[in-house]
Amino acid sequence: MPGDFQLPRKDHTYKALNRAAGKALHRYGMLEDGDRVVVGVSGGKDSLTLLWLLSERLGRIPIQYRLFPVYIDPGFAPGPGNDIAAVVQKMGYSLRVEITDYGLRGHSPDNRENPCFLCSRLRRKRLFEIADELGCTKLALGHHKDDIIETLFLNMCYAGEVSTMHPMQPFFNGRFTVIRPLAYTDETLIRKWADEQGYPIFENPCPSARNSRRRFIKKMLQQLYRSNRNIKGNIFRALHHVNPEYLL
């Protein structure tokens, strides 16, 4: 169960967060009794909120599952692994910290075109390996509504295809399933929750953190959202209402 970061259940942010996450969890049937779940923890507000949320639900739902938080350190010094582990420990869990060179390999001279893609792919692969080692069949990631919209535009602009992350995706012929319980949750709500909880801010040592393609797309969308408050909701709804007859 959560430790030092728990807020009263009457709190408005708490209710809004659980309502949005509950909608995704129930719509896709993400969790079942007896599940063993690796939770990808980066130290950011999204993954810490996800871990807290999945843990807190255990005290009020009719099913039980086990959570195994894992942090994949990409190899940039100084890494925040120990500090993230201290926060996770306050939530009642022991964080597994995996030291890798994935970030360094992603930024090597041979991979200047898209360092984020290689690093992300390697980290995801390692998470699957750890899940297999721990006997887990599900991998929970902290991607939220804004991430899903941004990925849509990233894929259109840089990959030439109309696609994005799905809230629940099977991999390796169903051997593992990636779940994204925050898929229907706005980033602003997560940020508000993290601020209220007092989650620490960890500096991302990655040299691409402030100059990535995703960051560029995020800024572009933020400008679009400011022009009309309905645009974000309309884009997200459009992902549920695709008309293939009007696509090439």
Q: Rounded to the nearest 5 degrees, what angle is found at the Cα of 219, between the Cα atoms of 215 and 225?
A: 140
Q: How far is the C-alpha of 185 from the C-alpha of 53, rounded, in Å?
A: 12
State whether residue 80 is helix, strand or coil. Answer: coil
Low-confidence stretches of the chain (pLDDT beneath 70): 1-10, 111-113, 209-210
SS3 for 164-232, per residue? CCCCEEEECCCCEEEECCCCCCCHHHHHHHHHHHCCCCCCCCCCCCCCCHHHHHHHHHHHHHHHCCCHH
* Per-residue pLDDT at 96: 97
Q: With a threshold of 0.85, does the pTM exceed it?
A: yes
Q: Residue ranges of the domains in the chain?
A: 12-246
Distance (Å) of CA 30 to CA 25, 66, 92, 198: 5, 14, 22, 28
C-alpha 81 chain-centroid distance = 17
* Per-residue pLDDT at 76: 84
* Per-residue pLDDT at 232: 97
Distance between terminal CA atoms of the chain?
50
* Per-residue pLDDT at 6: 53
Residues sharing a CB contact under 8 Å with residue 172, sequence separation 6 or more, in sequence order? 128
* Per-residue pLDDT at 188: 96
**Site of tokens 């942090």:** 71
CATH superfamily of 12-246: HUPs (3.40.50.620)
Q: Which helix (H) or strand (E) holds 38?
A: strand 36-40
| Contact by Cβ (8 Å): 74, 176 | no
Q: How far is the C-alpha of 177 from the C-alpha of 37, rounded, in Å?
A: 10
Q: Rounded to the nearest 5 degrees, what angle is found at the Cα of 106, between the Cα atoms of 103 and 107?
A: 90
Instruction: Please report which residue ranges of the chain form alpha helices under DSSP H.
Output: 12-28, 45-57, 81-90, 102-106, 115-134, 145-154, 187-197, 213-227, 231-238
Q: How far is the C-alpha of 2 from the C-alpha of 177, rounded, in Å?
A: 25
* Per-residue pLDDT at 101: 84
Q: What is the dihedral of CA 138, 143, 149, 155, to 10 degrees?
A: -70
* Per-residue pLDDT at 8: 47
* Per-residue pLDDT at 1: 41
Q: Which helix (H) or strand (E) holds 72?
A: strand 66-73
